[in-house]
């Protein structure tokens, strides 16, 4: 372990971290393991948006919908159930309890590591000093040699679609509804929109997704996106791609929307709620970046490969830094920033090796290049596919949707990307991440013994399919 950086002058902390999301608390814990004296400033519950209003409570709600979907018709499994209904109030209560437990776990880890937690709003006030204002209005100045900004992001708004917390809402309001609405329009077919649309459709709402791009989950492989769309439409979700909300009118009991669709007639839709899920932008306002001289670009803080900002001693990680806006990316950047602070030479983060996951059912997970992106880069590719319908484990579980798709470089044999769609397919992404990172070939995967019966065998079968296609 390297020696901690000595505190500058009489600064009581080697490092101050602003924000306690996955990036912030991981940075604080990593620095503490290096023997550094660390403080963390958070204005809300520990764990940030991910733990309290994003990743964790969302997955808890999705699990409730999945259980409900299973018990509605369990007869084929030899189970008789009558009078099954969905209690969204109880589902929300459970999700809030899951979030609370996770937040408390973050607090426990920070206390155990000796990290001092300060509650309040932090503003840069010159160099690496910050001004912390507590909820009661009291303020204090905290000095540290280094500063990590992990302030996260917040939802973007479009003109005319500004959330009002009443009928036009964000995912935060959607996470705590007391009743299942009869209908909902979801604007945005990215991860948040897809997950919320699936949850409310399974809970009993009539859901319409409006996505401006030609397909759901635009960054993902087109073949996977097509499978997801067909699954959603089979579940009764209306999917409008190449579409935008031209006008929305808000009333006491709901909203009406005029939807323009490329190459088709406009549609008129009415719903109880309109959920805006069009992405997020960095939380850079009100923290003193401009006065401190920290450069920003298009809503995010500008950094180098080691997360250094334009001001010596100040680093930025996670959503506020831009790039892929994912919790696990923030955690990886936390390690990079701390290693840079202690004088190491951390390996830069390669976004090609960051997994992307969407937790509806079927779930979607991917890493590396899609087939389209690989071909566009000038490579000749070899594709391997295998359907979960051929898996004994998938058949035993009654979950046959989806596939594994692997992309290999035909010239070198190295794996370029992996794409999954199926029930809990997200749990298989780790193997594909290793295969991409270490440039494994299809033969390497095939020669790796996979336990039977498991869904992971489908990965092996996809690799074998790629070998067969090579002739």
Helix crossing, 191-203 with 55-72: angle to 10°?
A: 40
Cα–Cα distance for residue pair 362/454, rounded to 1 Å: 17
Q: Which two tokens stand for residue 12?
A: 């009581």
- Per the residue annotation, which of 30, 34, 328, 452 is the catalytic one? 452
Cβ(436)–Cβ(367) below 8 Å:
yes
**Cα four-point dihedral sign 368, 371, 376, 380:** positive
* Rounded-to-integer distance, Cα 56 and Cα 257, Å: 31
Beta-carbon contacts of residue 288 (< 8 Å; ≥ 6 apart): 123, 124, 125, 131
Instruction: Note the Cα 247 to chain centre separation in Å.
Output: 29
- H or E segment to which residue 234 belongs: helix 222-234
Q: Give the rounded distance of the alpha carbon of 26 from its chain centre.
A: 17
Tokens of 105: 């776990």
Q: How many CB atoms lie within 10 A of CB 393?
A: 16
Query: Which positions ≥6 away from 110 have C-beta within 8 Å?
Result: 20, 25, 28, 29, 40, 46, 117
Distance CA 27, CA 20 (A): 9
452 is catalytic: yes
DSSP symbol at 124:
E
CB 33 within 8 A of CB 113: yes
Q: Do strands 255-261 and 243-250 pair parallel, antiparallel, or not at all (unpaired)? A: antiparallel
> Cα(first)–Cα(last) distance of the chain, in Å?
51
Which H or E element spans position 244? strand 243-250
The Cα 195–Cα 61 span in angstroms is 10
Which value, to the nearest 10 degrees, does the dihedral of the CA atoms of residues 201, 205, 210, 216 take?
A: 0
98 Cβ contact partners less than 8 Å away, ≥ 6 residues apart: 56, 57, 60
- 292's torsion region: left (phi>0), alpha (psi -120 to 50) or beta? alpha
Alpha helices of 325-470 — where are they, by DSSP H?
Answer: 327-341, 371-376, 392-397, 429-437, 442-447, 457-469
Q: Are 110 and 28 spatial neighbours (Cβ–Cβ below 8 Å)?
A: yes
Catalytic residues: 452
């Amino acid at each position: 372990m390297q020696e901690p950086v000595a505190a500058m002058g009489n600064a009581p902390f080697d490092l101050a971290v602003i924000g306690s999301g996955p990036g912030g608390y991981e940075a604080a814990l990593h620095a503490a393991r290096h023997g550094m004296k660390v403080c963390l400033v958070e204005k809300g519950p520990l764990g940030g948006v991910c733990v309290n209003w994003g990743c964790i409570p969302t997955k808890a709600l999705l699990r409730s919908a999945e259980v409900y979907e299973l018990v509605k018709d369990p007869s084929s499994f030899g189970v008789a159930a009558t009078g099954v209904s969905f209690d969204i109030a109880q589902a929300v209560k459970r999700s809030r309890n899951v979030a609370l437990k996770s937040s408390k776990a973050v607090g426990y880890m920070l206390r155990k590591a000796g990290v001092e937690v300060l509650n309040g709003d932090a503003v840069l006030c010159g160099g690496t000093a910050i001004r912390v204002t507590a909820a009661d209005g009291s303020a204090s100045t905290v000095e540290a040699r280094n500063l990590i900004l992990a302030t996260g992001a917040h939802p973007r708004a479009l003109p005319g679609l500004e959330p009002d917390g009443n009928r036009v809402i964000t995912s935060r309001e959607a996470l705590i509804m007391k009743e299942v609405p009869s209908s909902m329009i979801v604007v945005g077919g990215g991860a948040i929109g897809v997950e919320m649309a699936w949850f409310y459709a399974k809970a009993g709402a009539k859901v319409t997704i409006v996505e401006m791009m030609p397909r759901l989950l635009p960054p993902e492989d087109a073949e996977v996106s097509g499978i997801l769309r067909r699954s959603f439409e089979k579940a009764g979700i209306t999917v409008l791609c190449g579409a935008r909300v031209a006008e929305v009118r808000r009333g006491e009991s709901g909203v009406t929307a005029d939807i323009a669709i490329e190459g088709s007639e406009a549609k008129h839709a009415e719903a109880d709620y309109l959920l805006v899920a069009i992405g997020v932008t960095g939380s850079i306002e009100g923290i003193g970046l401009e006065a401190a001289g920290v450069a920003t670009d298009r809503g995010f803080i500008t950094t180098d490969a080691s997360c250094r900002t334009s001001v010596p001693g100040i680093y930025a990680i996670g959503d506020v830094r831009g790039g892929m806006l994912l919790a696990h990316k923030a955690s990886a950047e936390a390690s990079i920033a701390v290693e840079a602070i202690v004088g190491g030479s951390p390996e830069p983060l390669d976004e090609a090796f960051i997994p992307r996951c969407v937790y509806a059912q079927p779930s979607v997970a991917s890493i590396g290049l899609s087939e389209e992106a690989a071909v566009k880069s000038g490579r000749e590719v070899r594709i391997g596919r295998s359907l979960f319908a051929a898996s004994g484990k998938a058949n035993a579980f009654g979950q046959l949707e989806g596939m594994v798709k692997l992309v290999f470089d035909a010239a070198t044999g190295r794996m370029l990307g992996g794409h999954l769609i199926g029930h809990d397919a997200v749990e298989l992404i780790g193997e594909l991440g290793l295969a991409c990172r270490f440039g494994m070939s299809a033969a390497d995967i095939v020669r790796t013994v996979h336990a039977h019966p498991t869904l992971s065998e489908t990965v092996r079968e996809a690799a074998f399919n790629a070998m067969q296609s090579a002739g």
